[in-house]
Amino acid sequence: EYMGLTSLASYFLSAVMSVVRGVARAHAARVIELLRPVVGDERFARVSRMVDARAAGVIVALDGLYDRSNVLAAMRTVEGMGVAAVDVIANRGPPLYRRKRESGAAKGAMQWLDVRNFRDGDAAVTQWSQEQAVVLSATLSPRAVPLGELVAALPRDRRLVFVFGNESSGISAPVLAGSAREFVLPMRGMTQSYNVSV
């Protein structure tokens, strides 16, 4: 049975959205309240539908990606799936994402994302710990549980961080050590991993 990228995205979004329904959206409600007097009815309805569908309690973290193009493509996919927050962990060198530098399709998606840059995995784990977030890392480890099986056990009252590792070595040691659980996305073909940018 073939699972195309659209099916995978749909599967991931369904799993994530089932967890975050009901998460407090106080900041979104305040923004809507402030915009209401200056936005037309049709646009207000469209924005309200979009905000209601967003996964407010979810962060997607990109851990040590080498290719900046993969970072931007992944961010665009994440925004398209309704996730509003992305954490980018550099693990080497300068930040891989700078809002002012982006152009084209990436810039269009980026305006809707809250992006945080971290110099390394330790800094990211420290921040997530302060936020009392539950960190879930995508791995191919024997400890990894299929995401669909993990969903029912995830807390609905805490932020969830879904971490995806780099193109060759996966999740960094500090992030893996700070993870509550490891998960795996279903694979139906002969390859052992997905392209993180999709």
pLDDT tens, 170-184?
A: 899 999 999 999 998
Which CB contacts under 8 angstroms, 24+ apart, belong to 89-92?
89/61, 89/62, 89/63, 89/64, 89/118, 89/120, 89/121, 89/123, 89/124, 89/172, 89/175, 90/64, 90/117, 90/118, 90/119, 90/120, 91/63, 91/64, 91/120, 91/121, 91/166, 91/172, 92/64
Q: What is the DSSP letter of 38?
A: G
User: pLDDT higher for 10 or 111?
Assistant: 111
What pLDDT shows up at residue 156?
Answer: 82
Inform me whether the pLDDT recorded for 11 exceeds 70.
no
What pLDDT score does 191 carry?
Answer: 73
Better-scored residue on pLDDT, 51 or 4: 51
User: How far, in Å, CA of 58 to CA of 54, rounded?
Assistant: 9
Stated as kind and residue range, the H or E segment containing 12 is helix 5-20
Residue 107 is predicted with a pLDDT of 58
pTM for the model: 0.73
* pLDDT score recorded for residue 128: 98
User: What number is the average pLDDT over the span 185-197?
Assistant: 73
Per-residue pLDDT, 96: 55
pLDDT digits (tens, 9 = 90+) for 16-72: 554 444 333 445 566 667 767 777 888 777 777 766 656 678 999 999 988 778 888
Chain center to CA of 170: 16
pLDDT for the residue 19:
46
Amino acid code (one letter) for 95: P
Mean pLDDT of 152-161: 88
Q: pLDDT digits over 74-130, tens only?
A: 888 888 888 889 999 987 665 555 555 555 555 566 777 888 999 999 999 999 999
Burial state string for 105-127 with b = 16 or more CB within 10 A and e = fewer than 16: ebeebbeebebbbbebbbbbbee
What is residue 70's predicted lDDT score, i.e. its pLDDT?
82
174 or 151: which leads in pLDDT: 174
Q: Residue 36: what pLDDT?
A: 72
